[in-house]
Structure 1
């Protein structure tokens, strides 16, 4: 599985955030340093959230579920087409 990769990325992002957060200027007016700190923190949180989601999701199960839905939709379309054909002949 490739989930170990997301685990490493998650730990790296948490480590970077823990290291940088005390050093970022977040408690002033809207200076360039404050804006940078806010955006950098938001980006780090986004990376953390994406990796948590990747670790928590089960893509194979989701693919099978989507494939089953598509098969059901195709079957329903075939049934509707067959009903229209039989109604037109009768």
Structure 2
């Protein structure tokens, strides 16, 4: 499942790069700033944002964070499980 998910991100990255390579030469600044050139710049910035997001996922920047969070969750679960028998014992003593 994980390989398919990464393949999807890789495919979208390639598509975004292809669109950007096609569109960048068509943006013209010869006549100064116009609505068309402003739209082209905004579109290019969004395309770079999409490319950056897919690269971020593909390079696995979040995997290290996920592993750290998983270790913290496991430690908290162990603490809770150790504390739980004490709580049940207290409840039984209070009855």
State the TM-score, normalized to the length of structure 1.
0.69
Say yes or no: does 1:63 pair with 2:66.
yes
State the TM-score, normalized to the length of structure 2.
0.66
Change (3 A) 1:27 1:70: farther
- How large is the Cα RMSD of the aligned pairs? 2.7
Change (3 A) 1:73 1:29: farther
1:82 paired residue number: none
Question: What is the alpha-carbon distance in structure 2 between the residues aligned to residue 27 and residue 53 of structure 1?
Answer: 35
Runs of 4 or more off by more than 2 Å in structure 1? 25-30, 58-64, 70-75
Question: What is the alpha-carbon distance in structure 2 between the residues aligned to residue 62 and residue 34 of structure 1?
Answer: 39
The number of equivalent residue pairs is: 79
Superposed counterparts of 1:71-90, under 5 Å: 71-72=74-75, 75=79
| More helix by percentage | 2
Change (3 A) 1:73 1:26: farther
CA contact (8 A) 1:26 1:34 kept: yes
Structure 2 unaligned runs (5+)?
84-95
